[in-house]
Chains A and B, each alone.
Chain A
Amino acid sequence: MSNDFSVVGPKIYATIHTGIPVLGDINITETLVVSWIVMAIITGLCIFLTRDLKTENISKRQAFAEMLVEMGNNFVRNNTGGNKFDKLIPFVSALFATSVISNLISLVGLRSPTADLSTEAAWAVVVFIMITSTKIKANGVGGYLKGFTTPIAVMTPFNILSELATPVSMACRHFGNILSGVVIDGLIYWALGLASAALFGLIPGAVGNFLSKIPILGFGIPAITGVYFDWFSGCMQAFIFCMLTVMYIANAAEEG
C-alpha cells in the first residue's frame, strides 16, 4: 500500500501504428474496451428483452421492454412537442443507455469510458453537428449565418463563441462529473486504506501486521458515498446530456 495518491488515465492495452499524421496511432485503451463491453451489455439486454414478443398476455420482460420504448418515445416527444423528431428517438436512447451503463459500470470495478474526455467529446461533437444541420435545414445556410449577427452585428463574435461553447460545455460537464466521481472514489478508498492500516497496525505482532495490509474499512463505506457519486451523478449526467441534446435540436428547428 502506497502512501501516495494518484489518479491516472485509462490504460493502453495495445497500440496499432497507422503512420497517419495528426491522427496518430490507434491506442486500444480501457475506454474502448469497456465501451465495447457496454455496447455488448446493452445489445444483449435488448435482444433478451425482445425475445418471443406477443400481442396479448405479455410477459414482464416484454412489458419492461415496452416501457423502455415508451419512455424513449415520450422523452423525445414531450421535449420537442410533437412527432417531428421521431428520427432522434433511437439516437437519444442509444446516447442515454450508453451513458448510463458507462457511468455505472465503474461499480463493478471497470473504468468508465465516460471518464475519458474523448468519449464525451465524440458525443458532443455529434450532437453539435446535429444541432447545426437542423439549424441549416430550418433557416437555410444564409439564415444560419445571419443568425450569428442577431440582435446586432457587434454580437457576432460572442454568438460564435456561445455556439462553440455548447459542445464544449456538454462534454466537459459530463466528463467532469464522472471524473470527479472517479477521483472521489479513489480518494475514499485510499483514505480508508490508510485509516485501516493505521488502525489495525495498532495491534501488535503478526496479526496486526497481517490485518493492516487488508483495507478492511474499505468495505461498506464506499457503497454509501457511491450512491451519490456513482448512481446519482451517473444517471443525472446521462439524463442532462440527453435532455440538452433534445432541447438544443428542438430549439434549432424552431429558430427563424
Chain B
Amino acid sequence: MQLQALMMFAADAQKTQELVTLVPWTFILQILNLFLQMYLIKRFLFKPINNILEKRKELADKEIREARAAKEEADSLKDQYESSLTNAHAEAAQIVSDAQKEAQNKADAMVKEAQQEASDIKARAAADIEQEKKKAINEAKDEIGGLAMDIAGKVVEKEINEADHKKLIDDFISKVGA
C-alpha cells in the first residue's frame, strides 16, 4: 500500500520510465547481466558442486573397483584352495592306494617267501631224512658187515682161546653198545 502510494508520489517528484516500453540500454545491460549471472552461477555453484559430485563418484567407483578386485582375488584364492584341496585328496588317495598296494605286495611276497621257505625247509627236511636214511642204511650195512666180520673173526678166535671167549663177547657187547 505504502509502496504504491510512494510510487505515485514519486511519479510527481522523479522521472519514471513508461510502463510498457523497450529501452535499448536496459535491454543491452540485461543481456549482459544474464550472461554475467550465468558465469557467476557456473563459477560459484556448478563448478564446485560438480567437482564434489565427481570426486564422490570417483571415490565410490574406486571402492567398487577395490571390492571387485578383492572379490576376484578371493575367488582365485578359493579356486586355488579348492584345486589344492582336490590335489591333496587325490594325493592322499594315491598314497593310501600305493600303501595298500605296497602292503599287499609285501604281504604277497612274504607269504610267497614263507611258502618258499616252508617248501624249502620241507624239501631239505625230506632230503635230510633221505640222506639220513641212506646214511643209516649205509652205516647199518657197514655195521652189519663189520659185525659179520667180527662175528666171523670171533668164531675163528674161539677155537684158539676159551678164556678169551668171554672177554671177546664183552668187548663185542661193549662195542655194540657204543
Chain A residues at the B interface, C-beta cutoff of 8 Å: 1-2, 4, 6-12, 18, 22-27, 29, 31-32, 35-36, 39, 42-43, 46-47, 49-50, 53-56, 62, 65-66, 68-69, 72, 89-91, 93-95, 97-98, 109, 111, 113, 116-119, 121-123, 125-126, 175, 179, 185-186, 189-190, 192-193, 215, 218, 222
Contact = CB atoms under 8 A, between A and B. Distances in A.
Given A123-B31, A179-B20, 8 more contacts: A9-B18, A27-B25, A39-B37, A53-B52, A69-B45, A122-B27, A125-B27, A222-B1
Contact of A93 (B4, B23, B41): B41
B85 interface: no
A66 B56 CA distance: 12
B161 interface: no
Main secondary structure of the interface of A (DSSP, over half): helix
Interface string B51-95: 111011001000000000000000000000000000000000000
Interface residues of B, number: 49
Contact of A94 (B8, B20, B34, B53): B34
B1 A49 contact: no
Contact of A9 (B19, B25, B31, B36): B19
Main secondary structure of the interface of B (DSSP, over half): helix
Contact of A46 (B10, B19, B44, B56): B44
A47 B41 CA distance: 9
Nearest to A18: B25
